[in-house]
Amino acid sequence: MTPLMWVAVLVIVGLVALALEVFVPSGGVLGFLSVVALVAGVALAFVEQGPWFGTAVLAVTCLAVPLVLAVAFRVFPETPLGRRVLPPPPRPDEVMPDTDRRAVLRALVGRRGLATSDLLPWGDVEIDGVDHQAVSEAGPIARGVAVEVVGTQATALVVRVAMESPARPSPAPRPSAVPRDLEEALETFDFNALDQSQAPETSRHPGQLDSPDTPNNA
């Protein structure tokens, strides 16, 4: 075999071994043989045919390696081994969440419930006696804390710690009404007679004071 044929054989063997590495789980043996064959083919091209031919073989090898890998990975999922190793792509109905479920969750926005587990940030909450998966809007939420639903994320509720409603001031006590009997008694009571009975026995004017000339009876 001529050196040119050896270069072609080494490059082809290297590319085939590289493709088989994708299909056959060899633990890296085929990949190592592929690298050795490709390097040997390029080196032989430089030594036997000169730098120009060696550069051309190197360029062809650099273009062929990614092309072979792309084709191998394209075909591999269609093989029996590929179907066993790679799971099939999900169906559209598996990717999209249940619309009815999301409608039920959206109806819970604004409702309050209780965290049945620690939300770090994911956990479980109970709304109207029903358990739901939830995620905290901001920061962790401890178990047993009252929460409020503020939105939905896929098939989970977005919750935050429920804010306490401000206490309403208690109304001032209204003055009690005066009983009707007491009101009539106060209207008919003679306060003038009460003042006259408590008046002093002397007829001296309250504002009149004893003068120095007034003899002292004592």
Is 202 part of any domain?
A: no
pLDDT at 66 over 80: yes
Hey, is 165 helix, strand or coil? coil
> pLDDT tier at 174 (50, 70, 90 boundaries)?
low
Q: Are residues 48 and 16 in the same domain?
A: yes
Domain boundary among 36, 51, 85: 85
pLDDT for the residue numbered 49: 82
Q: Measured between alpha carbons, how far is residue 70 from residues 17, 19, 22, 63, 143 in Å?
A: 14, 9, 10, 11, 51
Domain boundary among 85, 108, 139: 85
Cis peptide before 80 (omega within 30 of 0): no
Tell me the pTM.
0.40
36-50, 83-97, 190-204: which range is least confident on average?
Answer: 190-204
Is 213 part of any domain?
A: no
> pLDDT tier at 148 (50, 70, 90 boundaries)?
very high
Task: Find the distance separating the first CA and the last CA of the chain, reported in whole Å.
Answer: 169
Is 166 part of any domain?
A: no
Is 186 part of any domain?
A: no
pLDDT for the residue numbered 206: 47
Tell me the per-residue pLDDT of 16-33, one tens digit each, with 9 for 90 and over: 888 888 887 777 888 889
Instruction: Give the total number of structural domains in the chain.
Output: 2
**Closest by CA position to 58, among listed 70, 45, 48, 67:** 45
Domain residues for 115? Answer: 97-161
Is 104 part of any domain?
A: yes
Q: Are residues 144 and 78 in the same domain?
A: no
Q: Are residues 81 and 104 in the same domain?
A: no
pLDDT for the residue numbered 179: 58
5-9, 13-17, 200-204: which range is least confident on average?
Answer: 200-204
Q: Are residues 45 and 71 in the same domain?
A: yes
Angle at 128 (CA atoms; ends 127, 132), nearest 5 degrees: 30
Mean pLDDT of 175-199: 59
Domain boundary among 131, 161, 191: 161
